[in-house]
Structure 1
Amino acid sequence: MSFEQVRHRPPSGLERPRELVVACVPMRSNVNLSTIVRTAGCCGVQRMIVCGNARIDQKIARDGAESVALEVRNSLPPVLRTLRADGYRLVGLEQTTNSSDLHHYSFPRRTALVIGNERLGLGEAELELMDDCVEIPVWGRPFSYNVATATAMALYEYCRQYPS
């Protein structure tokens, strides 16, 4: 019995737009930011808020840069307050004393996933605004995943919980 393998199938559509916003503090690496944009595009995220001198490398971000609306802001806390007022739950991707394990966290459909800096994570101003923080278990060293990798894991988990 033979069957044809199809590569690069078109994306499966969503029944409704994702109610997920990705918000990033200033990143040190445009490679990480571009990778996050690409992953967000793959996950059907329509809106990202980025801070600082955000430059996207089109070769890395590929089609994600076309499908995700990028908003560049000077500071994240005012934007986070607005998102909360609009009904989003603010979920920081950060290792804190009260973080929930990503494997056991139930994302609200209307989530703003807040991503910290590669070295410094989320600052106090952002952490004070979080409704929840989630972290990804690490079983070796270093003690945390690369920011783009961790964001991909968190976005995938959100999409697993809300596949359509």
Structure 2
Amino acid sequence: MSEFEHLRHKPLSPLERPREILVACPVLRSNINLSRVVRLASCCGVTRMIVCGSAKIDPKIARDGAEQVFIERRNSLPPVLKKYKAEGYTLVGLEQTTSSQNLHHFSYERKTILVLGHERTGLTDDVLSLLDATVEIPVWGLPFSYNVATAAAMALYEYCRQFPTG
């Protein structure tokens, strides 16, 4: 019989350089989803998020992420996405579109903004028109898409897999 010892709060995996990915969120319906994305971002070493509206981050859900991730609050996404695009960021939407690439085969640029969609309506046309690419995650059952926080976890994990040291 194998012996396993449970390690609670194992030391963090070191990054050789800061992550150059930001997460951008429209106004979300659920503060729970937003708080989960903040926690996820922190776990992945993401240090900045763009968040629209006046949504509240629940520190009980976001945990240490609420203190580790700088939240840039905006009224809407298009102006700030244009600014970051001019600074050389690749804008990648997490959305099912006619031109979406399968996340399993997508190669991220190091300097990326991952743009999440609203839980019910997805990405708006004014945001879609600014994107350099859209990625989607295959779904093998119903419903037809993943929860926004779950999908963000898969997309960010794939970015981290491609750039494991930052």
TM-score after normalising by structure 2: 0.96
**What is the Cα deviation at residue 4 of structure 1?**
4.9
What do residues 51-93 of structure 1 show as CA deviations (whole Å, max 9, x unaligned)?
0122100000001111110011001100000110111000000
What do residues 98-141 of structure 1 show as CA deviations (whole Å, max 9, x unaligned)?
00000000000000000010000000010000000000000010
Q: Is the 8 A contact 1:24 1:114 kept in 2?
A: yes
What are structure 1's unaligned runs of at least 5 residues? none
Cα distance, 1:3–1:151 mapped onto 2, change above 3 Å? closer
Cα distance in 1 for partners of 2:56, 2:157 equals 24
How many residues get paired? Answer: 164
TM-score after normalising by structure 1: 0.97
What are structure 2's unaligned runs of at least 5 residues? none
Cα distance, 1:4–1:144 mapped onto 2, change above 3 Å? closer
**What is the Cα deviation at residue 3 of structure 1?**
7.2
For the aligned residue pairs, the C-alpha RMSD in angstroms reads: 1.2
**What is the Cα deviation at residue 145 of structure 1?**
0.2
1:12 maps to which residue?
13
For the residue of structure 2 that corresponds to 1:15, the secondary structure is coil
1:48 maps to which residue?
49
Identity rate, percent: 67
Residue identity matched to 2:61: I
**What is the Cα deviation at residue 142 of structure 1?**
0.2
Q: Is the 8 A contact 1:54 1:72 kept in 2?
A: no
**What is the Cα deviation at residue 6 of structure 1?**
2.4
Aligned structure 1 segments of 4 or more residues deviating by more than 4 angstroms: 1-5
